[in-house]
Amino acid sequence: MSFDTVSVIGLGYIGLPTAAAFAAVRKQVIGIDVNRNIVDTINRGEIHIVEPDLDVAVRAAVSGGYLRASIQPESADAYLIAVPTPFKNDHEPDLRYIEAAAKALAPVLRKGDLVVLESTSPVGATEQLAQWLAEARSDLSFPQDAGEDADVNVAHCPERVLPGHVMRELIENDRVIGGMTPRCSARACELYKSFVRGECIVTNARTAEMCKLTENAFRDVNIAFANELSIICDKLGINVWDLVQLANRHPRVNILQPGPGVGGHCIAVDPWFIVDSAPEEARLIRTAREVNNSKPRWVMDKVDAAIADAKADGKQDKDLTIAVFGLSFKPDIDDLRESPALDIAIELAARHPGKVLAVEPHIDALPEKLKSPNLILVDFPTASAQADIGLLLVDHKPFREQAAPTHLRLVDTKGIWV
């Protein structure tokens, strides 16, 4: 069966670009999202997130009649689930959005359909998805019971794109595809090959799930090494950025750059899925998470030291203005998810009696959780002119292009002004 109509459930940072990619190869794409504002925005040919080239792709897809958005799932030949997978309680995976997506699409499933889970998920989530679908549709058979003869095929294909380069990497990157059966894998490969130029590599569902978690845990461990190194160097009076540059001249050493912590929905979350699955065995992965999670506390200690220095010069807390440069979780994007910079700004606004000026060139308004009487979104010149203390948290290009505001007491967590 061909895949003429594709439904993408969840129109966020991954779902919307994926929908646009299928529409670009002339698939009829129905995007589903529970947020009415998002649905209306897309149906106008506009976008609600910042991602290079996505606006052009969505506008062309909508105006060409290949993409439309809806609140309610509709019949399609293939369904891609791209919803959030956060954690709850003590870093326990929270699959409620996947469950909600399964229950929403179940009524429109037909024999011969394909369901692909794209959401980054703990091991076993694809099987759980298939079970939820089976419970909702007893009239259809699924791979866990019928194997290759299942009415509905189910697979996992994790996204592996870099924010800021999503539209290119969706097409060029290799995809790992893990079906619950060989037929599930083959059909998912057929679907993705309609627009993916990279290789579609087949494995089973559990290995595909673990692959994405492994990729992000690997990066988390390496970032933790850099962050821990920065703390050690600070204690020993060594410039960590000079040190990293020198050490990386070794042909087999590639130390990453330290920062204020780790953010984003992937690296800050996914390693916990591994820890949850194997708590006794995942010792290094857990430690890396703890190192990176503790880095914002170290940053706050450096800010406290800068405040103490300013007070020693005769200023009072309420008279001190702190400028926070950057709120997103990485440079040159608007994504604030799991951002350590955002959490630091929230804590500063809550405990500092003076003004806190936030400089984030990629947003027009502060998110609800950041709204505070003493926290104000301003531009770079305003912050530089009014602040007493500057805290650089994200090395956005506009900041890298600016000379260091040397009249401020600077806490530079990215090493661009030191």
Is 212 a known active-site residue? yes
Tokens 């500063």 locate to 348
In this structure, what token pair is assigned to residue 85?
A: 């997978």
The residue from 212, 330, 355, 414 that is catalytic is 212
Backbone phi, psi, residue 9, to 5°: -100, 115
Question: Which residue carries 């909600």 as its tokens?
Answer: 100
CB-facing half-sphere around the CA of 211: CA atoms within 13 A = 20
Residue among 232, 126, 103, 220 nearest 178 (CA)? 126
Strand partners, 390: 323, 410
Going by C-alpha positions, the residue among 285, 226, 224 that lies closest to residue 258 is 226
Verify whether residue 184 is a known catalytic residue: no
57 CB-side CA count, 13 A: 22
Give the tokens for residue 66.
Answer: 């290949």
Distance set, CA 4 to CA 27, 163, 175, 337, 396 (Å): 6, 28, 21, 34, 41
- Give, for 184, the enclosing helix (H) or strand (E): helix 182-192
Other beta carbons less than 10 A from residue 55's beta carbon: 15
Catalytic residue among 189, 200, 266, 330: 266
- Strands 92-93, 87-88: pairing is antiparallel
Catalytic residue ranges: 212, 266
